Amino acid sequence: MLMRIWHFTRNKSSRLWIVAMLLLAGVAWAGDHVRLAQDGMHDPANPGIKLLQEPGDALSKLPPDVVGNRVRWVKALEQGVIAPRTNIMPDTPIRVLDLDVIMPRTGEMPMIRFPHRQHTEWLDCSNCHEHLFKSKAGATTTVNMFQILQGEYCGLCHGAVAFPLTECKRCHSVDRK
């Protein structure tokens, strides 16, 4: 699959992006979480750094995964280990949609099962609809892995805050019969 994407990527900057994604995925698998003083984002000389919780301390209490930030976020939610705020304003209605959508246009790969429930327990429908995906079934026709790897559609979260795009079988989970 990755080689197929590589062959379709003629542009040098896109190929560099793919290499960077693979390297970042390797860092995520490589061992313990990077301490704040070594992460390149926090100033180790700032005394305020001592007030922050280290990622390894915070994430070690959550259900483990072997990829990405090494947390099974949906499992953490289902087990009640975390209870994310569903809304900022108390009067905002929350709509959890228990509906799976099967996406059949996946070439030779297994079809995609998109579980709305797991997504709508975290996010409001307006986070994705209508600008990323149309609500009407079949109306979003241009989604492909190249776009997702470029950070569009599913790639906006997956590979950033959700499990990484290297976990093909988590989405491509429905065999063709």
Q: Where are the domains of the chain?
A: 64-174
The residue to which tokens 């994310």 are assigned: 84
Per-residue pLDDT of the chain (177 residues; tens, 9 = 90+): 444 444 444 555 555 555 555 545 444 433 478 899 999 999 999 999 999 999 889 888 899 998 888 889 999 999 999 988 777 788 888 889 999 999 998 999 999 999 999 999 888 888 899 999 999 988 888 899 999 999 999 999 997 888 999 999 999 999 998
Question: What is 64-174's CATH number?
Answer: 3.90.10.10
What is the SS3 assignment for 126?
Answer: helix
Question: Which of 106, 110, 145, 154 minimizes the C-alpha distance to 8?
Answer: 145
Q: How many CA atoms lie within 13 A of 98 on its CB side?
A: 0
- What pLDDT score does 93 carry? 81
Could you tell me if 66 and 29 are in contact, meaning their C-beta atoms sit under 8 angstroms apart? yes
Q: How far apart are CA 165 and CA 158, in angstroms?
A: 6
The two structure tokens encoding residue 17? 């992006």
